[in-house]
Structure 1
Amino acid sequence: MKKFATAAGVAPVLHRNSANLMQSMLDEVKSSITILPELQALIPALQGGELEQLEANIRHDGCREALLIWQTTQRIVDGSENDAPLNILVDGHNRYAICSRNNIDFKVMLRDFPSMQTVRDFMIDNQLGRRNLTPEQMSYLRGLKYRNERQAAGRPAQESSSPKQDDNETKLAQRTQDRLAKAFNVSPRTIHRDREYSEGIDKLVPDLKQQVLNGKQKVAKELIREIGRTISTDGAPLSLPDLLAYNTAPADTTSQLAPSQNAGFTLVKEIASRSAALTITSPTFQKDCDELISLLTKAKQISA
């Protein structure tokens, strides 16, 4: 029999004739829903008139789909010593906002998750199942899934450690890339670039992040990947002016260089990016090597 925790952390057993008690417990859950910004940030914003249409549908038909709630404790969420119970919203953030704004009742469904990492993975997979994702959102979520899986394995997305660990780290990263590439029907190199793209997106201020992901603010993917590779995670999030300043800085520093030198710098950056994404187990490995050799030959000719 399913157990429900009250706000005081009590978990009474619900017997067959406890319908009223069950409803009381569910009502208490509904009145104490917690939204974690970290989880809400995993949900791409609805596009165009989708949010308005969703609100119109809910106002007309009610909220037909239950909100998914994770019953847990503060200790599980942040590793603190606080065992206060929490009812965390996992799926249904837009519906919850609409229902709250319009005083519309809604249903909830409770689900157990062992950790925050598991919740993040569930939410990423759930969003990747949507059919109306922009190319930016799809790339971001694939990269985020790669990073989440590497973190779940106890390793950061950036493969950098002691020399003794480099080989094992690289092999594990390649296996992750290969598996995700097969799952999403893309190349391992695409997964590598998606990782860099997601890291760059996460270094933007929240509003700009959503504008880029939903396609309202056009920013070159290579620029976002460059930010993911070079900007420290300890710095302040980048605004649009920061992004534009970052984009123009390289041009200022190389403006007095010869055209061939500028072309050489561009080639070197491309070579570095492709080399980092090279995976020996990839079905396109030989083709990737041929393309890399061609780029190296061009770079050699420029420097001659």
Structure 2
Amino acid sequence: MNHKEKKIENRLFLLLIVLLIAISIFLFIGINKNNAQYLISTRGIKLLSMILSGTCIAVSTLIFQTVTDSRILTPSVMGLDSMYVFLQTLLIFVFKRKLPVLLESVPKFMITTFFMILVSILLQKFFTNKSKGKLLYMILIGMIVGTFLDSLSNGIQMIMDPDEFLILQSSLFASYSKVNTTLLAIAYGILGVSLLWLKNDIVKLDVMSLGYNQSINLGLDYKKLLRKKLTLVGILVSISTALVGPVMFLGLLTVNISKEILKTYKHRYLILSSTLLSIVFLISGQLLVEKIFNNSFPVGTIINFVGGIYLLSILLKERKVR
């Protein structure tokens, strides 16, 4: 092991220590013998949800930035967040009275996940090789799809019953307060299979990060790997969003900080650091929401606010470099 890898592993170990401290604070703050069992059980479910969400968002964003060769893009450019809002709106508006069974946790989760994955797969046809033109074309199509779905969602929400609208609003923001344990188990099963699918391609992602021409010259089946990774991105984003709601800027924040901290292109390190940071940010945000802001708004609001500021700082930094 060379000096650089030793340095990277030391930083990963420090991130792990920070995560363990954050988990300990989150689980045990305010605990006494009278409320220990109840608080630890409810907080444990929240913690498992944040671990799953943080892992999905970090891994999907890292892969997406690798295949697009851009550090300012997230999978949300494919319109998946807009698809989530549209599906929630449509399900409540159409089926709340006629087929309420579809609004139960498991059917709703499966429907949302299925259609979000389907959209991500369909968008791949606009990004079949690695060129700047194809990249911009895919982003444009994603933005058009997202804008179209947002317009449909807003139109439906305008004519919804006020009670239905209130129900809808509670599902449109990332929240870890009420997570169905059955759905959590299903989501972890999908996540486990997805990570196993990713395992054998981690080194290939290192090659992919060199660019299209270099990857082809090194014998990489770029188009096949691209399709696989975009499908994986769609799966990971879909299960996280369908379970707890959208957290748009979390991946952008943690992946870029990981790259700044580790200074490496190796995805086996970047995946670990991005995941650890994502979970730390989610736990910290949840603590702020619960202990300081008294649950007045969801944790996604804090994450998106900080992530938006960080995105602006990246854009300004790159502008100065040019």
TM-score normalised by L of structure 1: 0.26
More helix per residue: 1 or 2?
Answer: 2
Larger radius of gyration: 1
More strand per residue: 1 or 2?
Answer: 1
